[in-house]
Each structure stands twice: as structure tokens, then as C-alpha cells.
Amino acid sequence: MSAPLLEVRGLTKRFGGLTANEDVGFTLREGEIMGLIGPNGAGKTTVFNALAGFFPPTSGTILLDGAPVEGLPPEAIAARGVARTFQIVRIFRSMTVLENVMVGAMLRHRAVPKAAVVARETLDFTGLGRRAHDPAAQLTVAEQKRLELTRALATGPRLLLLDEVMAGLTASEVQEAVELVKRIRDRGIACVVVEHVMEGIMPIADRMVVLENGRKIAEGPPAAISVDPNVIRAYLGEGYLAPGP
Amino acid sequence: MRRGGTALALLGLAAAVAFPLLTTRVTWQNAAILMMMTAQLGVAWNILGGYAGQVSLGHAAFFGAGAYVSTLLSVKLGVSPWLGMGAGAVVAAGLGVLVGTPCFRLKGHYFAMATIAVGEIVQALVNGSDALGGAVGFNLPLGETGFWGFVFNRSKLPYYYIALGLLLATVGVNWIVNRSHVGYYLRAIKDEPDAARSLGVSLTRYKMIAMILSAGLTAMGGTLYAQKELFIDPGSTLSTSLSIKIALVAILGGAGTLWGPVLGAVVLTAIEEATRIAFGGTGRGTDLVVYGALLVVIAVFQPSGIAGLFTRRAPRPPAPPEPEARFP
Amino acid sequence: MTVELLLQTLLSGILFGLVYALVAIGLTLIFGVMDIVNFAHGEFLMFGMYAAFWAFALWGLDPIVTLPLTTLLLFAVGVAVYRLVIRRITDAPMLSQIFATFGLMIFFRGLAQYLWKPDFRSVDHTIVAGKVAFAGLQFGLPQVVAAGGAVLTTAAVWAFLRFTRLGAALEATAADKEAAALMGIDAQKMFALAWGIGAACAGVAGALLATYYPIFPEVGSTFILVAFVLVALGGFGSVVGAFWAGILVGIVEVMGGFLWDPAYKMVLVLSLYLIVVWFRPQGLMGKA
């Protein structure tokens, strides 16, 4: 068996005296979808930022195709095939939808006309094609999130990090997003999905990793996770338990 | 809109080429040369300040580098100012890298303030250096006139066409940058630097590219200024008020647009000259009162610059709602 | 070089630095509350100096006597500038804010030239004239009084922000406009207040400086650059930071002139600033 696409070992991150992540580890194979969940402040975003190169970890290793990438800057991580979205959307507001995606496509295609073609294809794939020439700032929130995902996808990643792409969406928009993530996986792109919206992540994740207070408290298939006493306690303890569907 | 813009640009170009043939009045020709030189500086500034959003208020240091390097080379070593122009651009680009390395870590106002400091340091150093002419500056010798000597005393026309050529070349560089992936990256960096990084854009590398182009082109304007005025001193080529004026030209016209700075230079020079002619000469500052008041009025009523008059304004998007935690 | 001379130089640097700090405090207050850099701040100082000068020239009133009036006058000028101009550019991009306050600077300088001619003026005799001797060192009384006034004013502003409800509201607005608005604080009023206090501080500095410094339309340009450095050095928005930065810069300036070459003293000050922001982009006491 070949080396996993992503392997995280002993990931620890401290901010001053505060420990955001302690000894987190997991692996991800090509084309796999992993859900990363946990109560607020569990350290999901910190893991995410370490993977994307935004905060170098205090200790631990992150192997991409067996090569260490921890501490590399975000642009170098992106060049190695890892793309991300942001929890609070960060689209380029002065550009059109197409131009936004072109910036992503330029990572692999420096020539502008080629980047435009790739961007257009990616927009059609994610269903934003008809808005290609609209100013990005005019999109709805759901569309902006989709634009960010499209832009990340246009960089031609092998691993996509999705940070709460479903938060704040209506039920039908969540459904569309779920379908989209499935189609992305069908292209052979692995995904790490940080999500609060459980009905979004449960049906598509191959595996779930649950964090609490910066530590991994559970890992396994969604069905097992939803009945895991540790996980339920973690959410209950935070007072977040709500009746599920 | 785009096609109309091209037609307008061609029309403006034809008018600019023909202009000196229509008037022989030296005042008009001088005003036109001044306008184009100002425009060139604004266009050069725009690459860094407009597209990349790194608001420099120290560009006089690059302008001065161009003026001083070519002048020193020609006065001390007899090198043609044309070569000096290239050397000045290289020195300014090097200075730009030196400035950018620490300052690109700073954001917004912090970056602007740091560039003011750099500009003031360069001015103070030149002011205190006898080798560089100190506060007195240099008179350029009339020496070799003609094209190679870059001194023309019979007519202003050569300066006019050189200024026009340099302006067009600078606009051309902007156009190429704007059309290439560099232009897209610069605008991405200006809008959302973190998102740009996540897409593989190295902030330092692309800001530095913008800096090198902007500083080099600004320095070429400095050489032209020195050769036209045949006199340079720290006050006229290195002052912070010059730096701010360069930025103002671009802001007034519309920062981050191709023709905005040219438009800004035309309007700003016209306002300046008109108020000077109408109210100046009394030594009582009436021209400054009118000029300052106009700047304020424009900033208040047309904050996106004159070019903003021609573009639609996008409505503000609604804020994203707070995420909620749920568990099945 | 004697120890006395060194001490003398050092202390006179501190005395002048304190006045610098007073100019910078107004600037940093405005920046902290509104995120606007006021390029016309040196002109508030200039107006303060002229107000003191004309009260002296026309009615023979001493700048120290009219100081409260000068302060009130400049407070009114600050509020008026906010109401007439700044209020309209609160949400404009940074570029047009620079443009607007730079235009104000030119306008005010032009106005001063128009009204009062570009001549250098001075207040020839004041009640604080003379010298004070202290442990073998000698200082001009105006300089000592100006520095003392600067310290008192700084302390007053600091206490106002720290201990009064209005000051707390101002600080809350600086920290988070939306949260302050939710607490029922009228941001517009706070902005106007910041401009009023900012200009008033410059007015106090102007009145104090008028007792020994030449008065002319461009006098603000000498101070505004240092004030910018202090604001950035101390941390944008930090009154205490600007105060300590003022003392530091005052010392660096005189010692640079003393040990090296007066022509390069600004080079030293500006280099110090660049070195500090290289290591601490938020300034010495600014919030990260």
C-alpha cells in the first residue's frame, strides 16, 4: 500500500500559555472525505490553519505524500496541492466571479487566457457558470461560499480543506453543497471538512475525527461517532446538545 | 464602455501628439509637459499603490534617485543622461527592494507612515552630504546639447515628446502588468492577502515586483525632470510633499485604474496652474486656499476618484450570519 | 565633554520631547477612535500659536494667560473640522481620507498666509521669560513651563480617558465601534469629541510654544513629522505610548545632534522608528 496522502502526527500548537492543539494525529488517503468536528473552541480551526500553513505548529509533523510540510508558508502548501476555504468568506471583492476563480487557476496556468478557460470550466462544474461575469461582491452569502470553493478547486488541488462551507446556508443550499462535495470527491480530490452542520457532514464523510479542548477524543465512521459516549459528553458538556433530525 | 475607452485613449493620444503643432506658446507647452510628467509619476505609483494597494508616501526617494544618479553620472563622469536614466532606475529599484524588505510586513497606515520615514531619511541624508550637493543641489551644465546629451535649449518640443513617450511607456507597462497574472495577483493581494496566499500567491514576491517596476519608472521621471529643469536640489526632488503629490494624482484620478492617474494629473495640474495664475503672485497664499479647498471637496464628494464617475458601484453584500453548533 | 553638558543636553531634549508628545497625543487619539491619520494636525498647532500671538499683539495678553481660551478655541476648531469635513469621509477608503486631510493642511496653511502673511512672528516678552538654574544646569523658563504644561495636559487627557464616563465611552468607541453603538454610545458624538480634544491638545502645545518658538504659517510641518513618528512608535491610538515615545525621541534628537551632526538628527529619529516597527509593527505600546 502506498503512503497516505496526508499524515498528521503529534500536532501541538500553543499560543503563549494557551494550548490550542495537543498531540493531534490522523491520516487521510487519496479521495477520502474526513469530517473534523468538535464543540466551539475545540481547536478545529487551528488544525486547519496548521495544515494550510497559516500557523506553523509548535511541534509535530505533517506529511504530504510522505514529505514534511509543517512550517511551510501557505503559498508553498498551495503549490503542493492543498487548497482551502475560509470560515468567513474572503472573496476578492473588486473582481468579477470569473476573475476570482482565475486567480486560483493561475497557480497551474500562468497564461491568462488558459486560466480563464480553466476558471470557466470550474465554475460550470460548481454551478456558478451563469454568474461568471457578475461582480463577486453582488453574490449572496451561499454563492460567495461556493465561489470560494470554486476558486480553491481551480488551483488543481489533491487535498481540499473546507472550513464551514455549509454554515449559514438554508436546508436546500446545504443539500446542494453536500452534492458538490461528493462530486469533488468523485474527481479523486480528498477533503477535510470542518463543519458545525452535522446533517451536512454525516452522510458524506468516510471518517470523522472529533476534537475537544485541542485533543482528539474520537475517530471512526460517522455511524459510530454519533453514538460515541465521549463525543456526546463533549457536546453535552458544552451545552450544545440539540435534538437531531 | 471598454471600446469607448480605447477610442477615447486614441483620441487623447492624437491630440497629445498634435498639440505642440497647434500652439507655439511656451507657457502652454510647459504646462502640457508638466502635466505629462506628473501623469507619468502617478501611473508609476499606481502599480504599487493602486493595484497592489501598498500606499507609498515616500516615492520622492525614487524620483530623487533618478534625478541624482543621472545628474551625478553626467556631471562627474560625463555619462549620457540616457544611460543615467537606466542607472537611476536600477538604483531606485534596488532602493525599493531595500525599503520593501522591512516595510512590506506593515499594513495600511503603518506602511504609509514607514514610507514617509524612508523618504525623509533619504532627503535628510542628501541634504547633509556635500558630495551629493547638500541643501544647495546641482546646476546641470549646458554642455553637450542635442539628443545624446539630453539637453535641448532651442525649443521645448523635444522635452514634450520625450515626456509623452515616457508617459506612454509607463502606461504600457501598467497595461501589460494589468493584463498578466501579475496584475490579477496584485489586485488579489490588495483585496484579501490571506486568500491570495492560500491560492499560492507569494505576497512578498509580487509586492516586490510591483515595487521594482514602480520605483524604476518613477526614477526615469526623475531623470527627465533633472534634464528639463537643469537644476535639482533636495527640496524639489526628494520632499515628502512631492511624494504625497504623486500619490494624490493617482488617488484623484482613481487608484488602481489604468487611465485614472493620467486623468488625475490633468485635473490636478490644471487646478494648480489655474489657481496659481488666478490668485498666485500675491504671495498671500490665495492659490493654496483654493487648491486645498478643492482637494477637500473632491475627497468628500468623489472618494473613489474621477474614474469612479464612470463605473457602477456594487452594492454592499449582506454580512454572513453567525455559525451555529448542532449535533444530530 | 563634561557631565554637566551631557545632562544639560539630555534634559533639554526631554523638555522638547514632552511638547512633541502633546502634539502627538491629539493625533493618536483621533487615529485610535477613527482610524484616520490627520495630516492637518500640525495646522491645529499653528492656529494655537497664532491665537496666542494675536491675543498678545492686539491686547497685550500673555500666551499663558490666554491658554484656556486658546484651548477652547481649538476645541471648537477641531469639532468644526469634524462636522464639516471628516464626518463625510468616515467610511471612505483610506486613500481619500489621506487626500482630504492633506487638502485641509494645504488649505489651512494657505489661509494663514492669506490672513497673516508668511512672516515669522514671535511673542517678545512673556511672564515666563527668563532662566531657571538647577544643580549647576540652566534652562529657559519658557521651555520648562511648556514641558510642565505638556505633562499636565497629557495627564489630564489620560485621567479623562481613564476615570470619566465620557472618556470610557471614547475608549469603548476606539476599541469596538459596533459594540459601543450597542451600548448606546453615539459614535458621531465620540468622533467629534476626539477631534475636539485632539485639536485642543495641539492648541495647548501651540500656546505654550508661542512663548519661545517662532510663529509662521508652515510651522506645523516641523512638528507633524515627529508627531507621526511618535504615534507609530508609541502605537497607533496609545496616549501613554505617544508620551514615552515623545521623551525617547526628544533624547535621541538632541543626543544625535550633540554626538553626531545636527543635520542628521531626523535620520536618527526616523531610523529608530523603522527599527522599532520592524520588530514590533504595532509600536511600543500598541495593541497587536
What integer pLDDT is reported at residue B143 of this predicted model?
65
Q: Are B105 and C264 an interchain contact pair (Cβ–Cβ within 8 Å)?
A: no
pLDDT value of position B155: 76
Looking at residue A212, its pLDDT comes to 87
- How far apart are alpha carbons B263 and B42 in whole angstroms? 10
3-state secondary structure of C288: coil
CA distance A101 to A97: 7
Average pLDDT estimate for B221-234: 93
The more confident residue out of C223 and B141 is C223
Distance CA B202, CA B189 (A): 9
**Per-residue pLDDT tens digits for C160-172:** 988 988 988 888 8
Tell me which residue in C98, C107, C278 faces B289 most closely, judged by beta carbons.
C107
What integer is the mean pLDDT of A37-60?
87
Chain C: nearest CA to B243, how far in angstroms?
12
Residue B324 has pLDDT above 50, yes or no: no
Phi/psi at B131 (5° precision): -60, -30
Number of residue pairs across A and B with CB atoms under 8 Å?
132
Residue with the three cell numbers 517662532: C214
Which one has a higher pLDDT value, A111 or A230? Answer: A111
User: pLDDT band at residue A177, thresholds of 50, 70 and 90?
Assistant: confident
Q: pLDDT tens-digit profile of B236-253?
A: 999 988 998 899 889 888
Cα distances from A113 to residues A119, A121, A134, B181, in angstroms, run 10, 13, 19, 10
Given a cut of 80, whether residue A242 has pLDDT beyond it is no
Grid cell in block for residue C29: 487619539
Query: Taking 80 as the threshold, does the pLDDT of residue B309 lie above it?
Result: no
Indicate the domain borders of chain C. Answer: 25-219
Which three three-digit cell numbers place residue C134?
A: 538647577
User: Average pLDDT for residues B204-230, to the nearest whole number?
Assistant: 95
Q: Do B296 and C103 touch (CB under 8 A)?
A: yes
Average pLDDT over residues B195-215: 96
Nearest to B318 by CA among C38, A139, A238, A237: A139
**Partners of residue B285 in chain C, C-beta under 8 Å:** 109-114, 118, 217
For range A179-208, the mean pLDDT: 87
| Cell output for A1 | 500500500
Per-residue b or e along B196-205, where b marks 16 or more CB atoms closer than 10 Å to that residue's CB: bbbbbbbbee
pLDDT band (50, 70, 90) for residue B283: low
Query: What's the confidence (pLDDT) of residue B280?
Result: 67
Enclosing H/E stretch for C154 = helix C141-163
Helices (H), chain A: 44-51, 74-79, 97-105, 112-126, 141-153, 171-186, 198-201, 222-225, 229-237
Q: What's the DSSP call for residue A81?
A: T
What's the gap in Å between the CA of C44 and the closest CA on chain B?
16
Task: Read off the pLDDT band of A245 (50, 70, 90).
Answer: very low
Nearest to B289 among C31, C110, C232 (CB): C110
Are residues C106 and B114, on separate chains, in Cβ contact within 8 Å? no
The partner residue sitting opposite B283, judged by closest CB among C100, C104, C118, is C118
pLDDT-wise least confident of A156-165, A191-200, C156-165: A191-200
Give the pLDDT band of residue A62 (cuts 50, 70, 90).
very high
H helix and E strand count, chain C:
11, 2
For residue C89, the chain B residues in CB contact (below 8 A) are 299-300, 303
Residue B155, φ and ψ in degrees, nearest 5: -145, 155
Give B230-248 as a 3 state SS string. Answer: CEECHHHHCCHHHHHHHHH
pLDDT above 90: percentage of residues in chain B: 46
Residue B225 in this model has a pLDDT that exceeds 50: yes
Task: Output the nine-digit C-alpha cell for C216.
Answer: 509662521
Q: Do B244 and C102 touch (CB under 8 A)?
A: yes
Q: What residues form DSSP beta bridges with A13?
A: A21
pLDDT at B121 over 60: yes
Q: Which of C95, C252, C269 to mutate to test the interface with B (most CBs of B within 10 A)?
A: C95
Q: Is the dihedral of CA B211, B217, B218, B222 positive or negative?
A: positive
Contact B210, A64 (CB under 8 A): no
**Coil, helix or strand at residue C66:** coil
CA A155/CA C199 separation, integer angstroms: 52
Q: What is the mean pLDDT of chain B?
A: 85
Q: Tell me which of B95, B132, B239, B289 to substitute to probe the interface with C (most C C-beta atoms closer than 10 Å).
A: B289
Tell me which residue of A90, A86, A49 sits closest to A71, measured CA to CA.
A49
Give me the residues paired with residue A211 across strands.
A216
Contact A107, A155 (CB under 8 A): yes
- Mean pLDDT across the stretch B81-102? 94
Q: How far is CA B226 from each of CA A3, B136, B222, rounded to the nearest angstrom?
A: 64, 14, 6
What averages of pLDDT result for each successive group of 10 residues across chain C (288 residues)? 82 91 92 88 96 92 91 96 92 83 92 89 82 81 88 92 89 83 85 95 94 92 88 86 92 83 82 84 70
- Provide the β-strand partners of residue A208: A35, A220
CA dist B177 and A124 (Å) reads: 28
C-alpha cell at C5: 553638558
Q: Please tell me the distance from the alpha carbon of residue B14 to that of residue C199, in angstroms, as a whole number.
A: 50
Predicted complex ipTM: 0.90
Optimal mutation site among C81, C84, C86, C106, interface B, most CBs of chain B within 10 A: C106
pLDDT of residue C200: 96
Q: How far apart are the first and last CA of chain A?
A: 39
Global confidence as pTM: 0.86
Statement: residue B223 has pLDDT above 90: yes
